[in-house]
A = this chain, B = another copy of it.
């Protein structure tokens, strides 16, 4: 199995929003979850993760709350705001638009 390939530039925000859309998660868990769900293809570095989380929080799309993690440690749990959910929908649509377009170019030469 190939090693994880990091990311596609510009998709991290969407991946994060999606990952916490069902239930709040802390940063570490978000990264693990993305890697796991992607079948070990996507890998989120901490140097990408935390700046992204802070970016999203500052834009009001996610909200942070300190709580106890599964391992009984303090961790920052992030949840979607209403604006964040809307943003997630938008970015999802945009990703579908773009990836479809790229597939078109690949197929139809």
Contacts and interface: CB of A to CB of B under 8 A. Distances in A.
Interface size bracket, A side: 20 to 34
B105 A19 contact: yes
Interface in A92-109: 92, 94-95, 97-106, 108-109
Given A41-B98, A97-B41, A105 B15 contact: yes
A8 B101 CA distance: 10
Majority secondary structure, A binding face: helix
A41 B9 contact: no
Interface of A: 2, 5, 8-11, 14-15, 18-19, 21-22, 34, 37-39, 41-42, 92, 94-95, 97-106, 108-109
